Each structure stands twice: as structure tokens, then as C-alpha cells.
Amino acid sequence: MYNDLTKECRIVLNLKRKIIGIKYLYIREEYDDCPAEQLEIKMTLCGLAAQAMKGKFVKAKNGCFSCQGGPHLLGMKQTPSFIGSGREYYEFGLYADMAIARQAQNGLCAINQKIYGIVMGPLEKMDGADVALFLCDTWQAMRVMQGYTYYHGRAENIGMIGNQGLCSDLIARPYFMNDINISMLCMGARISTGAEDGEVGIGMPIHLFEDVVKGIRNTINVATEEKRKKELKKRLELENMDIPLEYGGIYVSNIKKMKYPEELYEKELF
């Protein structure tokens, strides 16, 4: 279902990792029918995502995790008062007082419905997903945001706290807010995925993915410098993909192509 879109996104942006999809499995029967592997050892949600980025299909339910954040934030386990109140964050020494810790906790966008489990895997091979996410460098993230804003304008729901950077920022929040999000990740996510210092995360509800990829394509010529266009041309040829590339300018060059000169727009109209 998503093979062509993921391929285009990967080639155009030169992504080094797989784009993965996350699907919520609401009931036990749905979970049992899912053919993905349930790992025998407990693992963090970040660790499961790392497996998916390597090409594996994995599923997990409450009891499969070695972390608390994943099952609590994704609706598989009720959040206890100690965590929901912000007390845990405060005792971690991450916040100056309880009020700040509680505000940070409340902003994590925990899914407030019962979900039995989840399945993760390479998006290109999935028949359906609820959220798409991937790791990329900051230039690639810039192009993703330009692709998003091409159709949807300014992203108004970006949020992160530097903790729970994958389970909250890249899965729960995009689903809960129904919008794209970007994350600096967190220490656990960076260790589990082997993220480099310059890598960040992007997560979005699946219905936005096609618009974002089309937006990236439609802004290639105006938002990509010559050197990168030449590198892209080589990648497109290797994959037998046809995306017209224009050389000799970027977006500011388009001003010179306007029918009416810029100065006319500064004249007094009345």
C-alpha cells in the first residue's frame, strides 16, 4: 500500500534508515491474528522500533515491555498516579518542582483508550498503519517540514520535552494531535536506535504521509541546491525513477519569473 511513497521518500531524501509504520491492535483477537513476531525477551518500545527499522515485523502487548513509557502512553496499561501526577519525573531530578513536572507529564499526549497491543514494521510492506515515523538528519527534517507546509501550512502542534522522545513524541502525540511532530529524541531512544548526534525523529498520522511526500517532490527544484540535485539525479537513475529536475536557481529565483515586477506590489493602490 505504501511501497511507492516510501521508496520515493527514501530516494529523494537519501534516508539511511527504513520508514516504519505503527498500527494499534485494539482487541486480543486482532493481536492474535497478526502474523508479526512477538519477541521472547522483553524490550523497550524504542528497542522494538529499532528492530522495525532493520526490517523486522514485531508485535507487543502489555507484559512484553521492559519500559513503562511505551505501554502507559500507548493505552496498553493504565498510568499510575505516581507517574501521571509528574511525581516520577520530579524524583528523577528532571524538573525544578512538581507543578512543572506535572505539566510536562500531561503534555505527553497519552492515548486515553484501551489498546491491546501494537505492531511495528517497515511501512513499505504494511497493508495499513496508524502512524509513520523515521529518523533522519536535520537537512532531511527541513525538507520534510517544507513538504508538510506545502499543503498544510505552519505546523502548529510541534511538542517535545527531551524525554520519551519516541513513544510520546513520535507515536502517541502525532496520533493524539492528528498532526506531524518532530523530536530531538531522548537518551533511551538514542541508545536503543543507535541514533547519531545529528539525527532527529519525525512522526505523523498515516493520512498525512502521502501529502508530505508529494510536498517534498513539489518543492525539490525550489528548495534544493545544485549539488544535491546532481546527487539526486544519480539516485533517481539507479532506481529508474522520473522526477523532473531544474537547474540554475532556487525559490528566490522565481521572483524574476513573475509576470508583474515586485515593485508594483508596493505601489499605493488607493
From CA 7, how far away is CA 2, in angstroms rounded? 8
Residue-wise pLDDT tens digits, 210-259: 999 999 999 999 999 999 999 999 999 999 999 999 988 777 777 778 88
In a domain, 228, yes or no: no
- Sign of the CA dihedral running 235, 237, 241, 247: positive
From CA 54, how far away is CA 122, in angstroms rounded? 8
In a domain, 43, yes or no: yes
| pLDDT value for 165 | 96
Average pLDDT (65-76) is 92
Look at the chain and report how many structural domains it folds into.
Answer: 1
In a domain, 240, yes or no: no
User: Which secondary-structure segment (H or E) carries 237?
Assistant: helix 226-238
Burial 14-42 (b: 16+ CB within 10 A, else e): ebebbbbbbbbbeeeeebeebebeeeeee
User: Residue 114 to residues 25, 81, 99: CA-CA distances in angstroms?
Assistant: 10, 17, 27
Q: Which residues span the domain enclosing 124?
A: 3-218
| pLDDT value for 39 | 87
pTM of structure: 0.93
Residue 102 neighbours by CB distance under 10 Å: 17
Residue-wise pLDDT tens digits, 37-66: 998 899 999 999 999 999 999 999 999 999
Q: What is the DSSP string of 26-70?
A: -SHHHHHH--SEEPSS-B-HHHHHHHHHTT--EEEETTSBS-SHH
- Better pLDDT: 79 or 21: 21
In a domain, 258, yes or no: no
Closest alpha carbon to 10 in 124, 159, 138: 124
Average pLDDT, the chain: 94
Average pLDDT (164-185) is 97
From CA 229, how far away is CA 233, in angstroms rounded? 6
Q: How confident is the model at residue 270 (pLDDT cuts 50, 70, 90)?
A: low
- Sign of the CA dihedral running 39, 41, 44, 50: negative
Order the strands of the 20-25 sheet from edge to edge: 37-38, 58-61, 117-122, 20-25, 131-137, 199-205, 181-183
| pLDDT value for 255 | 76
In a domain, 269, yes or no: no
From CA 120, how far away is CA 24, in angstroms rounded? 9
Which single residue is written with the C-alpha cell 520535552? Answer: 161
Which single residue is written with the C-alpha cell 527541513? Answer: 142
- CB-CB contact of 68 with 92 (8 Å): no
Residue-wise pLDDT tens digits, 73-105: 999 999 889 999 999 999 999 999 999 999 999
In a domain, 225, yes or no: no
In a domain, 187, yes or no: yes
In a domain, 168, yes or no: yes
Does the structure show a pLDDT above 80 at 269? no
